[in-house]
Amino acid sequence: MMRMGIFTGRKSPFLSQLAAAVPSSSLVAFLLLVISSTISSPSPPSPSPSSSECGMYLAPSTIPGAGMGVFAGHHDIQKGEYLLSDDGDLVIPAYDMNWHVGHDKRYSFLWEEYTWKAASFGGMKEEVENVKKVKACSPGLGAVINCMLSLVNVVDDYGSRQMGLSGSGINDTITTTTTLSSPGIGSYTPYFGRRWKAKRYITAGMEIYGNYGQGYFTSRRDYDKIPLKSNYKEIDKILKKYQSIITSSSSSSSTGNADDAVIDGDSDWKGDLLIFLQSLNSIWDLSRNMHAIPQTDPPGDSSAVDWLLKQKGGSGMQHYNSSIRDPEWLQANGRCMDNIKDGISKIPDAGRGAFARRALTKGSLVAPVPLIHIPERKTFTIYDKKKIITNKKDGTENFEIVADHENPIHHQLLLNYCFGHKESTLLLCPYGLLTSHINHDSNPNTKVVWAIDDQMAHPEWRDKPVEEWGTLEKAGLSFNFVALRDIKEGEEITVDYGREWGRAWEEHIQSFENRINENYVPAFELNKMVDLNLQTIEERDYENQGLHLFCRNPYLEWSGVVPRETILLKSTNKEGNETTTNINRTEYNDWDEHQIFPCRIRQRYTTNDGNTLYFAEVFERLEMKLQQHEEVSITQDLVWGILFDVPRDAFYFEDQKYHRHHHQIWSFRHDMRVPDDIFPEVWKNRRVS
Ligand SMILES: C[S@@+](CC[C@H](N)C(=O)[O-])C[C@H]1O[C@@H](n2cnc3c(N)ncnc32)[C@H](O)[C@@H]1O
């Protein structure tokens, strides 16, 4: 069992003397002012009988002003352990939002505070032109944990980012001549499996801290006093100096050095010196270093400094103790987050779902549901493209493809993960542990209610028009999902998304048939099917089905095929004469085993010992713009290598850009609906025809 020094379970005697010295709340922009609301809050849902089993709580953070935080519940978590053994959080991509709605400054996107780089999620970078323009919204644990850089105790597990449809409940239908006939395809994210692993031993009751990265704190003015790792190191140097002064003075005074007589006369000078050091932060207020100086209780307690300097993290460990809540306190003041676990939904076509991790009694909390607000639902609109002609300075014409704001054609997938109301522009998107997994049932076992005021940073927003608070950059509201009846362990959790959602879904099912590209299977799924018999170009043209097929470099080498440095291209110029051009193949110069080359399968055959092998040709696709029509290009395939007797492993698929199901305009989009009886009148800012 992995244990950390003397922090094995409960508070260490020395650290309990360290005051909660996180920088003052004036440092943090999101002050929590709990003001009563005229909408009556329900009484808190009862904890379920087995609540002492709770493995994770949502409760006020130990960081002043940081709102809610996540805490390990009644069990210690060992280093290397996954926080929950489930499949993990969803990641919902939002595409090209600047291109679609960036023109309108009214559309604020609070998700921005909760997004990650799409490029680091497996499979996402292949599906779009520019992965930098994709916002990877992950409403799970990552969105709700706070960060204290010196005490980060969980890491986002990159190794588990092998996300995809497997396990979403529809992959069973995938075969070579697959018919992905589920009307649910494209209406939920294909990306899930984002998991969090303990980076160090986490004692029961400890706040969970992820690593937002230093850039998060250096790029925001509100956080300009929060110490970074380097600041704690600086302070460790000063504290060591302080220690050496007091140690050498003690030893010289014991040898009767006359120079130390004055100091020695004041019996508490060591403490005073430390108090002096500690008080510097009030005069040097802007320094991150100053805020890294540990405050002790009582002030001037040099033994606490001795203790800190013996710890691996030095002064960075000063908030360790104040980051731990008693599990009993958490039970009384927190909301249990892990009553649900994830899995494949039992509801046809619904993708993934949430299930009761333990038996839950009627009226008890199923899950706390903090909410990210989007004041204007048009933020999620996707527009058609249009071509505009502009005149260049030299008088020639230029073509540009821009969003056609007269012609909305679809919505971001994120819409399906938010609650709305037909009479309001406001959307409220759940985050927190697995709350986005909960599916619809018109006869549900769980209902949506407002959290009690104390569980929300801004309950008073419910009394104000959306226009007055919607653009604020911190989440402030929260629902609770509460059991409508006793729920058995393992039962799927459902809420009622509302009549309008149900009607829209029915209509979608009716109109769905014949609209899907039956043969398209996402590339990252095909790549996982290592036993799949691939099709020859005559049997199936992958290119026509939204895919690109490639051959891997090691098999080219094995077949003795060497990529050419230059390629001879025959083409016809604008006068109609045939020309031959040498083109440099600069991209493919290195022999890299991850390199892939466009190819197509000419033949598939089975050997006497039952192995399937392929005969393929590797080609170069050359694209040329016609000079007189810049927007028109022609392509020409040039075969430059033949592979004989290669196995399935020689081939690799990528999706053509914007081809996955969730990009298709037939894919279902509808927000979940906040029940009428809890939707504030004052938010109704949209007339419904
Ligand atoms: C908030 S998400 C729920 C999580 C989703 N199942 C997933 O795998 O990511 C809402 C989406 O789930 C699917 N869904 C939820 N309830 C459903 C139901 N009763 N029938 C079909 N699809 C459902 C729809 O795609 C809907 O847009």
Distance 90 CA to ligand 1 centre (A): 12
Helices 302-310 and 229-254: crossing angle in degrees, nearest 10, is 120
Task: Beginning with the edge strand found earlier in the chain, give each strand of the sheet holding 446-450 in spatial order.
Answer: 446-450, 477-483, 365-374, 427-430, 419-420, 672-673
Give the DSSP letter string of 337-395. Answer: -TTEEEEE-SSTT--EEEEESS-B-TTBEEEEEEEEEES-GGGGEEEEEEEEEEE-TTS
Q: Is 157 helix (H, G, I), strand (E, B) or coil?
A: coil
SS3 502: helix
Q: Is the Cα dihedral 315, 319, 321, 324 positive or negative? A: negative
Token pair listed for 649: 């492993």
Q: How far is the CA of 350 from the centre of ligand 1 (A)?
A: 5
The pLDDT of residue 41 is: 45
Interval between CA 672 and ligand 1 midpoint (Å) = 9
pLDDT of residue 637: 84
Q: Is the peptide bond before 408 cis (omega within 30 degrees of 0)?
A: no
276 residue type, one letter:
F
CA of 343 to the centre of ligand 1 (A): 13
Q: State how far the Cα of 286 lies from the Cα of 267, in Å rounded to an integer.
A: 33
Rounded distance between C-alpha atoms, residue 380 and residue 415, angstroms: 7
Radius of gyration of the chain (CA): 30
Q: How far apart are CA 435 and CA 670, in angstroms?
A: 17
Does the C-beta of 417 come closer than 6 Å to ligand 1?
yes
Q: What is the DSSP string of 251-278?
A: HHHHTT-GGGHHHHHSTTHHHHHHHHHH
CB of 416 sitting under 6 A from ligand 1: yes
Q: Distance, CA 516 to ligand 1 centroid (Å)?
A: 18
> What is the position in ligand 1's atom list of the atom closest to the CA of 187?
25
Nearest alpha-carbon partner for 146 in 47, 59, 228, 230: 59
Residues 6+ apart with CB under 8 A from 378: 101, 104, 107, 425
Task: Report the C-alpha gap between 382 and 414 in whole angstroms.
Answer: 12
Ligand 1 centre to CA of 188 (Å) is: 6
CA gap 201, 6 in Å, rounded: 12
Going from the Cα of 348 to the center of ligand 1, the distance in angstroms, rounded, reads 10
Q: Six-digit token pair at 162?
A: 């092998």
Mutate to test the pocket of ligand 1, among 91, 170, 188, 495 (most ligand atoms within 8 A of CB): 188
- Closest ligand 1 atom to residue 497 Cα is 16
**Residue 351, ligand 1, Cβ within 6 A:** yes
Q: Count CB atoms within 10 A of the CB of residue 645.
A: 14
Of 494, 516, 513, which is closest to residue 350 (Cα–Cα)?
A: 494
Report which secondary-structure segment, H or E, holds 440: strand 439-440
Q: Which single residue is written with the structure tokens 């005073």?
A: 272
Classify burial at 649, counting beta carbons within 10 Å of its beta carbon; exposed 0-12, middle 13-18, buried 19 or more.
Answer: exposed
Residue 350 beta carbon below 6 angstroms from any ligand 1 atom = yes
Amino acid symbol at 504? A
C-beta of residue 339 within 8 angstroms of C-beta of residue 433: no
Q: Whose CA is nearest to atom 4 of ligand 1?
A: 437
Are 293 and 316 in contact, with CB atoms under 8 Å apart? no
* 505 neighbors 442 (Cβ within 8 angstroms): no
Q: Which residue spans within 158-237 are E strands per DSSP?
A: 192-194, 196-198
Does residue 352 line the site of ligand 1, with CB under 6 A?
yes
Give the distance (Å) from ligand 1 centre to CA of residue 436.
Answer: 9
- Cα gap 97→118, rounded to integer Å: 14
Amino acid present at 68: M
pLDDT at 187: 94
User: Strand pairing partners for 581?
Assistant: 569
- The answer to whether the CB of 169 is under 6 A from ligand 1 is no
Task: Tell which atom from ligand 1 comes closest to the C-alpha of 351.
Answer: 8
What is the best residue among 185, 440, 672 to mutate for testing ligand 1's pocket, by most ligand atoms within 8 Å of CB? Answer: 440
Q: What are the angstrom distances between the C-alpha of 35 and each of 32, 449, 462, 473, 475?
A: 9, 19, 11, 18, 15
Residue 118, both tokens: 């799409």
DSSP string, 535-593: PPTTT--GGGGTEEEEEEHHHHHHTT----SEEEEEEE-TTS-EEEEEEE-GGG-S--T
Distance of CA 170 from the midpoint of ligand 1 (Å): 13
Find all residues with CB under 8 Å of 323, minimum gap 6, and list them.
62, 148, 151, 206, 207, 209
Distance (Å, whole) CA 404 – CA 387: 9
Q: How far apart are CA 510 and CA 128, in angstroms?
A: 30
Atom from ligand 1 closest to the CA of residue 168: 8
Give 186 Cα–ligand 1 centroid separation in angstroms: 10
Distance CA 225, CA 292 (A): 9
440 Cα: distance to centroid of ligand 1 (angstroms)? 7
Which amino acid appears at position 189 of this protein?
A: T
- State whether the beta carbon of 163 lies less than 6 angstroms from ligand 1: no
Low-confidence ranges of the chain (pLDDT < 70): 1-44, 46-51, 85, 122, 158-181, 248-267, 279-286, 513-520, 563-593, 625-632
Cβ atoms within 10 A of the Cβ of 401, count?
11
Q: What is the model's pLDDT at position 4?
A: 27
Token readout for 370 is 């903090």
124: which DSSP letter?
T
* Ligand 1 pocket member 439 (CB < 6 A): yes
Q: Is the CB of 187 under 6 A from ligand 1?
A: yes
CA 438–ligand 1 middle distance (angstroms):
7
Q: Kindly report the backbone phi and psi dihedral angles of residue 524, in degrees, each rounded to the nearest multiple of 5, phi listed first.
A: -70, -20
**From ligand 1's centre to the CA of 352, what distance in Å?**
7
Ligand 1 pocket mutation, candidates 345, 346, 349, criterion most atoms within 8 A of CB: 345
Q: 33 in helix, strand or coil? A: coil
pLDDT of residue 299: 80
Please state, in angstroms and rounded to a whole number, the distance separating the CA atoms of residues 437 and 439. 6
Which residue, among 117, 86, 324, 48, has the nearest Cα to 201 in the 3D structure? 324
**Cα 424 to ligand 1 centroid, rounded to whole Å:** 22
437 C-alpha to ligand 1 centroid (Å): 8
CB neighbours of 405 closer than 8 A, spacing ≥ 6? 103, 383
Give the separation between CA 380 and CA 279, rounded to whole angstroms: 50
676: which residues sit within 8 A by CB, 6+ positions away?
Answer: 421
Give the DSSP letter of residue 492.
B
Asked if the interface predicted TM-score (ipTM) of this complex is over 0.85, the answer is: yes
The answer to whether residues 451 and 368 touch, using CB atoms and an 8 Å cutoff, is yes
Q: Which of 439, 497, 662 to mutate to test the pocket of ligand 1 (most atoms within 8 A of CB)?
A: 439
Instruction: Evaluate: CB of 662 within 6 angstroms of ligand 1.
Output: no
3-state class percentages of the chain: helix first, strand second, coil last, to nearest 5: 30, 25, 45
Closest Cα partner for 493 from 340, 371, 338, 348?
A: 340
Distance CA 75, CA 133 (A): 40
Q: Which residue has the tokens 């009694």?
A: 361
d(CA 246, CA 42): 58
- State which ligand 1 atom lies nearest to the alpha carbon of 494: 16
Residue 347, ligand 1, Cβ within 6 A: yes
Domain ranges of the chain: 30-207+327-495, 229-254+262-316, 523-659
Q: What is the DSSP letter of 230?
A: H
Give pLDDT, residue 399: 80
Q: What angle do CA 413, 417, 421 make, to 5 degrees?
A: 110
The amino acid sitting at 175 is T
Task: From the CA of 430, give the closest atom in ligand 1.
Answer: 1
